Amino acid sequence: MQRWVGTALMAGSAVAYSLAGYFTRLIPLDVMTLLFWRGVFGGIMIAALVLIQYRGQAWARTRAIGWQGLAVAAMGVISSYLYLAAFRHTSVADVAIIYATLPFVTAGVAWLVLREREGWRVIASSLIALLGVAIMAGGAIRAGHLAGDLLAFAMTLSFAITMVLMKRAGRQVSMLPAVALVCILTAVAAAPFARIGPIATLPLLHLALFGTCQLGLGLVLLTFGMRRVGATEAALIGLLDTPLAPLWVWLAFSEVPPLLTLVGGGIVMAGVLWNVARPAEAAG
């Protein structure tokens, strides 16, 4: 039962994260301003959740995250900025392909830190998902982007470390205060480059939805889901945001994705679903 709950939470987190492209297209502001306001609203949402859940113990719970919680917050901020930097120095296809190696990178980090080993089905499902992302990228991968590709790999590694640290620390204490710090620190880092002045009501509402429904909800579901499934399986389920992202843009802005995107996205989802549907006794 715990595994099914964890799977549902991780899938919900992937759906929330997949809305990033939709909100980025919807809101006519620069990237740093988007990051700032998304972090502000996401941080407010998660901080409010910490206060509601723990009430008088909220500060004690925040202090209890210790160095591991601070490391989760720091790595979360680093992976966010490496993600943006990678897009500026290489193609979207390169980033997608490299990010699709997340389950394998996470498996290596989880084995080193947690001595956690995944079964053959999780690894096979990850390979299927990687194939799907490769098909989605199609012929868009270009040569001559070594620096950007290295940034994309650094982003993937930092996110894998974040997930494993959340898994390790989450066994003893709640990581909600740590993910609230991810939002707050992201906003602080983006503030010098962001437009903080008056913003029209409708874009501000969209920014609030971006911060709460995409970042805030995604981090909250990730935090609770990581307690119930293995780190590698969590990373595999998280790949669902890759095929879902173009789907929302298609539905909202009538941008029909290429055939390869549809075929590859279907393969990614098939790989994830094949792993999810494995018998409970084989889920160790």
Q: What is the pLDDT of residue 42?
A: 96
Q: Which residue has the tokens 């194939």?
A: 131
The Cα–Cα gap between 5 and 48 comes to 24
Number of domains observed in the structure of the chain: 1
Residue 108 pLDDT > 80, yes or no?
yes
Q: pLDDT class for 76, splitting at 50, 70, 90?
A: confident
From first CA to last CA, the distance across the chain in angstroms is: 13
The residues, any chain, with a CB within 8 Å of residue 230's CB and separated by 6 or more, are: 110, 116, 118, 122, 167
Q: What is the mean pLDDT of residues 85-100?
A: 74
Tokens of 170: 């989450």
234: domain range? 2-282
The Cα–Cα gap between 69 and 73 comes to 6
Q: Which residue has the tokens 């601070």?
A: 70
pTM for the whole structure: 0.85
Q: Where are the alpha helices (DSSP H) in the chain?
A: 2-17, 20-26, 31-54, 58-63, 66-89, 92-99, 102-114, 120-137, 146-169, 176-190, 201-209, 217-225, 231-238, 241-253, 259-276
Q: pLDDT class for 117, splitting at 50, 70, 90?
A: confident
User: Mean pLDDT lowest for which of 19-33, 125-139, 169-183, 206-220?
Assistant: 125-139
Residue 254 pLDDT > 50, yes or no?
yes
Q: What is the pLDDT of residue 283?
A: 47
Q: What is the pLDDT of residue 284?
A: 46
Q: Which amino acid is at 185?
A: L
The residues, any chain, with a CB within 8 Å of residue 31's CB and separated by 6 or more, are: 84
User: Mean pLDDT lowest for which of 30-34, 137-141, 246-250?
Assistant: 137-141
pLDDT tens across 185-209, in order? Answer: 999 999 999 988 888 899 999 999 9
Tokens of 29: 């502001």
Q: What is the pLDDT of residue 145?
A: 67
The residues, any chain, with a CB within 8 Å of residue 177's CB and separated by 6 or more, are: 50, 58, 61, 62, 65, 69
